[in-house]
Chains A and B, each alone.
Chain A
Amino acid sequence: MATNHDHPEHAGHGDHAGHSHDDGHGHHDGSYLTPIGGFWSEVWRWATTIDHKKIGVMYLTAVLFMFFLGGMAAMAVRLELLQPTRSTAVTSTEPKLDAAGAPIIDPATGQPVTEVVTQTVTTGQMWTISNVQAENNNVYNRIFTLHGAIMVFMVIIPSVPAALANFLLPLMLGAKDVAFPRLNLLSFYIYAVGSMFAVASLLLGGVDTGWTFYTPYSTTTDADHWRVTLMVLAAFILGFSSILTGLNFIVTVHKLRAPGIGWFDMPLFVWAIYATSIIQVLATPVIGITLLLLVFERLFHVGIFDPRIGGDPVLFQHFFWFYSHPVVYVMILPGMGIISDMIAVHSRKRIFGYRAIAFSSLGIAGVSFIVWGHHMFTSQGELASIVFSALTFLVAIPTAIKVFNWISTLYKGSIAFNTPMLYTLSFLFLFSIGGLTGLPLATLSTDLHLHDSYFVVAHFHYVMMGGTIIAFVGGMHHWWPKMFGKMYNEFWGCVGAVLVFIGFNVTFFTQFFLGTRGMPRRYASYLDEYQLLHVVSTVGSWVLMAGFLVHLFNFIHSLVAGKKAPANPWGAMSLEWEADSPPTEHNFHHEPIVKHGPYDFDAAVPPHWDAKDWPLPAPVPGGHKH
């Protein structure tokens, strides 16, 4: 056992009634989920909680809701692309007009004369957003902007750090909470306000700038509307939430590690979150000032990005990508952290190359700040492009270090066939494809051909979705028993994982071909030659959605009727599994004292041991740390 409690059988659930507390704050000893008062008093307790676990769960709920919204937008985009042109013939009965445009009145009846008219409308009009006339590509542009902005700012960025890490970081470090619990709640509410701004902008008719808000388009489009301003403000507000979360986590990692946890005794998930937080803190302020200047531009026409009075739109691109490229690693690093933990636990083997993985996280964080120019190969000078192209290849080194270490971890491991492992393997496949297809995009000569094509779309979906979302969903399965104290159904979990894997590949692998054949991104209509691949891709998106729905029902079923989870269903070694499932309000009954590292399976787990035989036998004397 890792902790200093004196009952080796402690790991079972709910047998702590006789334990004394190590602090006198009078908290109840039940799980953090146990309601105390009536419904409305519980709502109030959740809304004002400073418990990192509850805040994590609230984030998780909000992120999943946003994922649903963004996902629906993606489904609409894919549905639209089933057909090469958007035009469909619609017949309707309309009043007949004379040459002057006035309705012709039938003198006999006094009623307007009507005629049957066949009009050509766009299929985009099937998804009319309130008050905005659906014309031409308008709706399509708004829907994909909605998809991009929601998925980037409101789903992927907060998914792992704000939702999962909020819950797990203090537990993994043996702490009672994050460093600044009230700041943590504040950052959740800032996230909620920012999301409301974004949704408000959507309800007012949406934005068609793309999630990148490039000037001068974003400063001139819809000139009489507040929608773009609202959307930009939303991203600005969400940035605050991101900064506060990152700051909180850095201080937590520095100051709240339990006695016995050195830097190299932390789970690699914590290292990944630490590296992520550094990027969040250092990069987000730059997008803050950029978006603020964009708002000034829209409100007061200050002209800093306006070439008419000498301003520079390319400056906006530099500022934007100085944040938004590092933020790509805010999105992927936490996913890598999840994989590092899951792959070791579910192959019951010490992680291969602990320090290499830990330092490569920091390496990625460092490199992330010097490669933003590869988003601007067409808008910057030749020399700058060459330099940024060369620097971009550096990213491949720390990422490849991680992938090789993960694969080496699997070698001779006792690999479990369960949902987290399926997601881990999916991640290895998909992320590798995503990473390797980044290389032709970083190469100037090939990028000339692939630039702004579906190849780019496929590439970043393989990294963002095949990487982050896959790791996120895998991590949700891995830590679900800890978070809610219930097991999910393993069979349906695996079915969902397989459906997602197949659906994802069918959807996005086809887009590599579309891209190499010249299909440009962001268009609602295309040449007939592309239709077959588009149809395949759209059908894939349905399979993908089916996979997620299976997970959704599986999770709901687990909450309602799931088996009670033991404290450590996977036989994992890191500290969060020493707490109850779900943890008590203050996480641990005693401050844990760590006696082994998070991956000491070889020291603590005897050969041929099976997870169902939990708890572990007494630790091997002299078991070493890293």
Chain B
Amino acid sequence: MATISTHSTPTGDPPGKHGWERYAHAPHYRTAADEFDACKLGFWLFLTTEVLLFAGLFVSYAIFRMLYPESFAAGSHLLDWRFGFTNTVVLLVSSFTVAMAIRNCQKGQYGWSIINLVITILCALAFLFIKFTFEYGPKWTQGKRPGSLFDYPFSTTPNEPLWWSVYYCATGIHALHVVIGMGLLTWCLVRQIRSRQYGPGHYTMVEMSGLYWHLVDLIWIFLFPLLYLVH
């Protein structure tokens, strides 16, 4: 892996002007490329743990769906697939823009990297806005709540509270990951604006935040059909 090029200044600026040019790798690595590879391996391992965390929720979903298919079908009908679909599109767009932001950093296109990061963060906000305003909010007031808080008078199947438990736990923990990912990307954005921290020689943080964002996207790609589409 040698994706890190040697220090070059594609924009022709004098060396040392940008944050990434001043970056010195940690002394226990031999080269910056070694450090980048180590970070990448570490981050992929971390993503594995995230997948396994959600695995518990997916297993719960599978088991209770198998036990109470009619409750899950009834619960699923109460979700509006159009909001879920919109959020899927929002996340897919943001996944594209974050990938572009990484590419921009690699090529030293600071302006574009900032624009792409901003679009990604706006998409994250849009996702959360749709989730809370059009989905959680109305459902909660209608009494479609998890477990013993369930208070929806028109439910037809006995185990519907359990469906809402699975729904809120899975999407809630996913929403928390959206917030965390947004925080990471904001951190990148601030540093990029303030000191042009990420460029061809050093963009580890952007790359890792991007990987995290792809994972957030990927989990939603599984949650959307399971919760909204499969009846």
Contacts and interface: CB of A to CB of B under 8 A. Distances in A.
Contact of A303 (B53, B55, B148): B148
A309 B148 contact: yes
A285 B42 contact: no
A433 interface: no
A23 B26 CA distance: 11
Contact of B41 (A251, A286, A296): A251
A511 interface: no
Interface in B134-159: 146-150, 158-159
B168 interface: yes
A296 B149 contact: no
B50 A285 contact: yes
Contact of A286 (B52, B68, B173): B52
B45 A302 contact: no
A358 to B, nearest CB: 20
Contact of B27 (A176, A179, A247): A176
A323 to B, nearest CB: 10
Contacts of B161: 303, 309-310
Nearest to A170: B28
Query: Chain A interface secondary structure, helix, strand, loop or mixed?
Result: helix
Contacts of A312: 63-64, 67
A179 B30 CA distance: 12
Interface in B32-59: 34, 37-39, 41-42, 45-46, 48-50, 52-57, 59
Given A289-B56, A312-B63, A302 B28 contact: no
Contacts of B57: 289
A301 B27 contact: no
Interface residues of A, number: 44
Interface string A260-297: 00000000000000000000011111101110110011
Contacts of B37: 255
A248 B52 contact: no
B56 A302 contact: no
B63 A179 contact: no
A2 interface: no
A587 to B, nearest CB: 9
Given A25-B27, A179-B42, A310-B158, A302 B168 contact: yes
A304 B165 contact: yes
Contacts of A179: 38, 42
Given A303-B162, A310-B67, A310-B158, A254 B41 contact: yes
Contact of A306 (B38, B49, B147): B147
Nearest to B165: A302
Contacts of A289: 53-57, 173
Given A25-B27, A251-B38, A282 B48 contact: yes
A3 to B, nearest CB: 17
**Interface residues of B toward A: which range?**
35 or more
Given A311-B162, A312-B63, A255 B41 contact: yes
A532 B56 CA distance: 46
A158 to B, nearest CB: 17
Q: Residue among A254, A283, A285, A301 with the most chain B CB within 10 A?
A: A285
A312 B166 CA distance: 13
Contacts of B56: 285-286, 289-290, 293, 319
A301 B165 CA distance: 9
A304 B34 contact: no
A251 B42 contact: yes
Contacts of B38: 179-180, 251, 254-256
A549 interface: no
Contacts of B146: 300, 302-303
A251 B45 contact: yes
A425 interface: no
A170 B29 CA distance: 12
Interface string A77-91: 000000000000000
A537 B50 CA distance: 44
Contacts of A290: 56
Contacts of A292: 173
Nearest to B30: A591
Interface in A161-202: 170, 175-177, 179-181, 183
Contact of B60 (A175, A283, A304): A304
B34 A309 contact: no
Interface in A473-503: none
Contact of B147 (A183, A251, A302): A302
A285 B148 CA distance: 27
Q: Residue among B28, B38, B146, B165 with the most chain A CB within 10 A?
A: B28
Contacts of A251: 38, 41-42, 45
A281 B26 CA distance: 24
B169 interface: yes
B166 A180 contact: no
Contact of A181 (B28, B45, B46, B169): B28
Contacts of B28: 170, 175-177, 181, 256
A300 B159 contact: no
Interface of A: 23, 25, 170, 175-177, 179-181, 183, 243, 247-248, 250-251, 254-256, 281-286, 288-290, 292-293, 296-297, 300-304, 306, 309-312, 315, 319, 586
Given A254-B41, A310-B67, 13 more contacts: A23-B27, A25-B27, A250-B45, A283-B52, A285-B52, A285-B56, A286-B52, A286-B53, A286-B56, A301-B149, A304-B64, A304-B165, A310-B161
Going nearest first, the 5 A-B pairs with the smallest beta carbon separation are A289-B56, A303-B147, A176-B28, A301-B148, A285-B52
